[in-house]
């Protein structure tokens, strides 16, 4: 089985025009090293796929929750289509194994990473997944694209609801702790590193004296959010 066939099997779609798939898998950086490459980079397909993905998820949620208001549906949709979730979906289908990247970009973004490099990796994977959905739409039409989105993305709805990912992680953690322990979480900066223009903060979230989790980020706010997300996982 070829690499293309492995990916097609993972997403449940056989492409009629392989050119769409090859374009979806081509990162802009690859063209810098391979100017003779016969495909364009995937950013136009990413633009298209983003719209297809959002429509498919909107339809799914509209039917799934007939009595929920716009605000709640918007929050759930945002949790399903944010770049972290799409990157996780891309990881599940091993999309990174099929991408055409420059050597430098592959080394920097698709190896085991944390911090800024880890976020860059997630963005590349999420963008490529959107491009893949755009390619499916062009090749097989909206109905096939919708089924693909439902199988790979909408199927994560339970994870979103159980972990309250449709809410801001800090708010969700506060609500969970107040319900279960009658206590409000607190956050403390554990360390700072890096120059002023590229700081990395490590923050701990505590329930009283108990440290629930740690998180890192380029700002205190992002580090707190990361810590809250990790803490929520303990209560799922």
pLDDT band at 232 (very low <50, low <70, confident <90, very high): confident
Q: Are residues 13 and 124 in the same domain?
A: yes
3-state secondary structure of 167: coil
pLDDT digits (tens, 9 = 90+) for 136-158: 999 999 999 999 999 999 999 99
Boundary of a domain, candidates 110, 125, 160: 160
**Domain limits for position 230:** 169-235
In this structure, what DSSP letter does residue 37 have? Answer: -
Tell me whether residue 69 is one of the annotated catalytic residues: no
Structurally, the chain folds into a number of domains equal to 2
In terms of C-beta density within 10 A (0-12 exposed, 13-18 middle, 19 or more buried), how is residue 78 classed?
A: middle
Looking at per-residue pLDDT, the higher value among 163 and 13 belongs to 13
Looking at per-residue pLDDT, the higher value among 115 and 105 belongs to 105
Looking at per-residue pLDDT, the higher value among 183 and 165 belongs to 183
Which domain CATH number covers 15? 1.10.1520.10
Q: Are residues 150 and 183 in the same domain?
A: no
CA angle 95, 93, 31 (to 5 degrees): 10
Catalytic residue, chosen from 130, 139, 202, 224, is 130
Q: Rounded to the nearest 5°, which phi and psi values hold at 227?
A: -65, -40
pLDDT digits (tens, 9 = 90+) for 85-101: 999 999 999 999 999 99
Q: Are residues 23 and 115 in the same domain?
A: yes
Boundary of a domain, candidates 115, 131, 160: 160
Q: Are residues 99 and 174 in the same domain?
A: no
Q: Are residues 70 and 173 in the same domain?
A: no
Q: Are residues 115 and 211 in the same domain?
A: no
pLDDT band at 171 (very low <50, low <70, confident <90, very high): confident
Tell me whether residue 139 is one of the annotated catalytic residues: no
> What pLDDT was estimated at residue 135?
98
Q: Are residues 128 and 152 in the same domain?
A: yes
Catalytic residue, chosen from 23, 50, 122, 202, is 50
Boundary of a domain, candidates 111, 128, 160: 160
């Amino acid at each position: 089985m070829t690499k293309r066939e492995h990916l097609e099997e993972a997403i449940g779609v056989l492409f009629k025009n392989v050119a769409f798939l090859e374009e979806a898998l081509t990162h802009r950086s690859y063209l810098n090293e391979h100017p003779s490459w016969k495909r364009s980079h995937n950013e136009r397909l990413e633009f298209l796929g983003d719209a297809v993905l959002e429509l498919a998820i909107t339809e799914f949620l509209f039917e799934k929750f007939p009595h929920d208001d716009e605000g709640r549906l918007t929050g759930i949709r945002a949790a399903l289509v944010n770049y972290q979730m799409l990157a996780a979906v891309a990881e599940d289908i091993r999309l990174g194994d099929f991408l055409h990247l420059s050597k430098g970009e592959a080394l920097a973004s698709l190896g085991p990473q944390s911090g800024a490099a880890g976020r860059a990796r997630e963005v590349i994977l999420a963008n490529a997944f959107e491009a893949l959905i755009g390619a499916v739409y062009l090749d097989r039409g909206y109905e096939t694209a919708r089924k693909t989105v439902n199988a790979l993305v909408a199927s994560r709805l339970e994870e979103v609801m159980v972990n309250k990912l449709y809410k801001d992680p800090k708010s969700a953690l506060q609500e969970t702790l107040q319900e279960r322990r009658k206590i409000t979480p607190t956050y403390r900066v554990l360390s700072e590193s890096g120059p002023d223009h590229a700081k990395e903060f490590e923050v701990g979230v505590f329930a009283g004296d108990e440290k629930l989790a740690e998180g890192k980020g380029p700002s205190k706010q992002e580090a707190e959010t990361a810590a809250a997300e990790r803490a929520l996982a303990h209560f799922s």
